[in-house]
Structure formats: structure tokens, C-alpha cells
Amino acid sequence: MIAVLTGDLVDSTAMPLEDYQLAVGIMEKYLAKCQARFSTQGEIYRGDSLQLIFKQPQHAMRAAIELRSLLFCAENTQQPLGITLSIGLGEQLIDGNKPSVSQGSAFTLSGRGLDNTPSGHISLHHESTAFYDALVLATKFLDSVLYSHTQKQAQVLYHYLSMDFPTHTQLAKALSTSQQNVTKHLARIGADLIKAYVVFFEEKLTKESE
């Protein structure tokens, strides 16, 4: 089993040019970061969409949350940058050197799932056991929490995930703020529950892909 993450910028055609260029730059840098961290294959296509292949599917949800948070917390934009994201869990029948020349159920599930995902939200799709139906439901709850975050909270969450759940002191140092401020933000964003979800997702999919 692999995971395919497909994303589409929200209202990209209506963005000011500076915001659009910033959003694409953020996506390009994040694709490179995922390649280094998770050995993914990815590309940006149609100018405002991206697709990432995770041969280790357990990393896909962490990446989706990080990317959404990273875009949303971008500063000096006319409107917060949004992205719609869909993860497909399935097979890869044709293994190309980039997503656009690869095929399999994971790609189909991710692409079709994106078409049915509300703008700015994250969704999960699969063709596996009933357990994954429960994981899909849990993902909907997670998405509801993420969608209510402010830009500052999104920034805190991005660093919390990308630093692999650091202590409050470590996170405060990275964000150049106080430990008390970090503790307040983490409580407001439901960080403990987000961490529990991500850890559970990663542990379950690690076992499934062994």
C-alpha cells in the first residue's frame, strides 16, 4: 500500500499575483522537504495543484497537516492561503518517475476524493478494511479542528509537527516567544488530540505497510 496526497490551492485564479507566487513557492519548498524527509516523489501541475507519492504511507497525514498549516500561516498576504487536500490509500500499478506518469488505485482515490472534498479541507480515502472507515471518520473530526485555527495557531501547529512534538520550551525557543504563550496556543488548538491522531495514524499504517 502507498499513499497519494493531492492538493489544489483555494481560489488561485482570484489571488493577487504576489500571493499566488508566494503560495507556489511554499509548495515547491515543501515538496523538496518531503523528498528529503520521507523519500517522496512529487510535482506541481497546472500551476496551482500538487501531488505527492508516499511509498511509506504513514507519513502522508503529517505532511498534509503541515502543508495546510504552512500555507495558512504565511504572512503579508491579502487573504490567508488555503489548500484542499485529499489522501488516497491504495496500490501503485505503474511506477513512474513522477506522479503524472504513475497509475493505481491510490491515485484514483486521491484524485476523485479531491473533487469531493470541500474547499480548504482535508479528506482521506481508501479501499481497505472496515477499520479505515473509522479512520476516515476520525479524519473528519481532525479536519474540523484544523479548519477553525487562526494563522498564529497554524504556525504553532506546523512547528509542533515538523519538530516532531518538541517540549513547550523547545517550541517557544523556535518561535521566539514565551513558554506560557506556547502552552496557551497548544491548548487552544487541541495539540494533544492532534498528536494522538497523528501517532495512531502513523503506527497503524506502518504495520499495514510492513
How far is CA 180 from its chain centroid?
Answer: 27
Closest CA to 59 of 138, 2, 108: 2
pLDDT in tens, 146-183: 999 999 999 999 999 999 999 999 999 999 999 999 99
pTM greater than 0.85 (yes/no): yes
pLDDT value at residue 182: 95
Instruction: Scan for cell 481508501, then name that residue.
Output: 126
Average pLDDT of every residue of the chain: 91
The better pLDDT of the pair 195, 102 is held by 195
pLDDT value at residue 49: 93
Rounded mean pLDDT, 78-98: 83
- DSSP-derived secondary structure letter, 10: T
Distance, in Å, from the CA atom of 141 to the CA atom of 134, rounded to the nearest integer, reads 11
Rounded mean pLDDT, 32-39: 94
Structural domain for 169, as ranges: 2-208
Contacts of 126 (CB under 8 A, 6+ apart): 88, 89, 90, 109, 132, 135, 136
pLDDT in tens, 111-133: 999 999 999 999 999 987 666 88
pLDDT interval class at 94 (50, 70, 90): low
pLDDT value at residue 133: 86
Say whether pLDDT at 95 is over 80: no
| Residue-wise burial string across 12-26, b where 16 or more C-beta atoms lie within 10 A, e elsewhere | beebeeebbebbbeb
Evaluate whether 72 touches 27 at the Cβ level (below 8 Å).
no
Instruction: Scan for cell 485564479, then name that residue.
Output: 13
Say whether pLDDT at 200 is over 70: yes
pLDDT value at residue 207: 82
Distance, in Å, from the CA atom of 206 to the CA atom of 210, rounded to the nearest integer, reads 6
pLDDT value at residue 101: 55
Evaluate whether 122 touches 146 at the Cβ level (below 8 Å).
yes
Cα–Cα distances in Å, from 66 out to 40, 97, 100? 15, 24, 23
Q: Residue 120 is part of a domain; what is its CATH number?
A: 3.30.70.1230
Report how many domains make up the chain: 1
pLDDT interval class at 102 (50, 70, 90): low
